[in-house]
Amino acid sequence: MHDSPAAPRYFRKLVGPRLYLSPINVDDAERYCEWLNDMEVSRTLTLAHMNLSLGAEREALERLSRGHNYAIVLKDNDELIGNCGLIDVNHLCRTCEIGLFIGNKTHWGKGYGPQAMQLLMQYAFSYLNIRNIMLRVYSYNERAITAYRRIGFREIGRWRRAMPREGKEHDIVFMDVLDEEFAAAGHPPSFA
């Protein structure tokens, strides 16, 4: 008798050229915990000033997995590299916020963050009928700001000196993009 094949960890819901977005697998809590306790990863996230235990992370993943939050997984080898999600989806106003992180630092600077965002944004505009997506980013996170500008986000304002961290008072930068601006930027077709 043969063993039945292992259940898949991820599901190819939104597929781009090099990665796909899958529903979150709560059994990845340990991996997330490892990433988010690395201050180099979390220093640009709100989470940096929280104590993240394995139990807390499992609970957080269970809660997140019921919303529009997705694992970012490489197509080639099904490797989990991070997470992205939509926050405060408001169908009356057709707005939401977006957030993400690539937890595996060896994969920073390879364009995976923008590609994951593009997939999630295309989904938000095409299937959730969102019109405006906003994000907030700390002013010292230049890598993220560069990536967001490239996708089509523009700065709409700053909450000045609202993020005191690492001995300095940083701004919280607000950026947004409309569905038509995103479409005009000519993003490659996805969900292929």
Ligand X SMILES: CC(C)(COP(=O)(O)OP(=O)(O)OC[C@H]1O[C@@H](n2cnc3c(N)ncnc32)[C@H](O)[C@@H]1OP(=O)(O)O)[C@@H](O)C(=O)NCCC(=O)NCCS
Binding mask 45-64 for ligand X (x = CB under 6 A): x-------------------
Task: Evaluate whether 96 touches 133 at the Cβ level (below 8 Å).
Answer: yes
Judged by CB, which is closer to ligand X: 2, or 49?
49
CB of 2 to ligand X, least distance (A): 40
Task: Give me the residue label for tokens 């094949």.
Answer: 5
- Number of residues binding to ligand X, judged by CB under 6 A: 20
Judged by CB, which is closer to ligand X: 42, or 91?
42
**Residue 118: closest CA among 190, 175, 13, 67:** 190
Of 38-46, 125-133, 154-162, 170-178: span binding ligand X (CB under 6 A):
38-46
Q: Which of 13, 17, 26, 44 binds ligand X (CB under 6 A)?
A: 44
Judged by CB, which is closer to ligand X: 70, or 101?
101
Phi/psi of residue 81, each to 5°? Answer: -120, -10
Q: Is 175 in the site for ligand X (CB under 6 A)?
A: no
Task: Evaluate whether 138 touches 166 at the Cβ level (below 8 Å).
Answer: no
Judged by CB, which is closer to ligand X: 51, or 106?
106
Judged by CB, which is closer to ligand X: 65, or 141?
141
Task: Evaluate whether 55 touches 178 at the Cβ level (below 8 Å).
Answer: no
Parallel, antiparallel, or unpaired: how do β-strands 14-15 and 95-102 relate? unpaired
Judged by CB, which is closer to ligand X: 174, or 191?
174
Mapped onto helix, strand or coil, the DSSP state of residue 43 is: coil
Task: Give me the residue label for tokens 């340990």.
Answer: 30
Task: Evaluate whether 120 touches 14 at the Cβ level (below 8 Å).
Answer: yes
Q: Other CB atoms closer than 10 Å to residue 41's CB: what's the count?
A: 20
Distance between CA atoms of 34 and 15, rounded to whole angstroms?
26
Q: Pick out residues in 88-147 that bind ligand X (CB under 6 A).
A: 100-102, 108-114, 137, 141-144, 146-147
Would you tell me which residues interact with ligand X (CB under 6 A)? 41, 44-45, 100-102, 108-114, 137, 141-144, 146-147
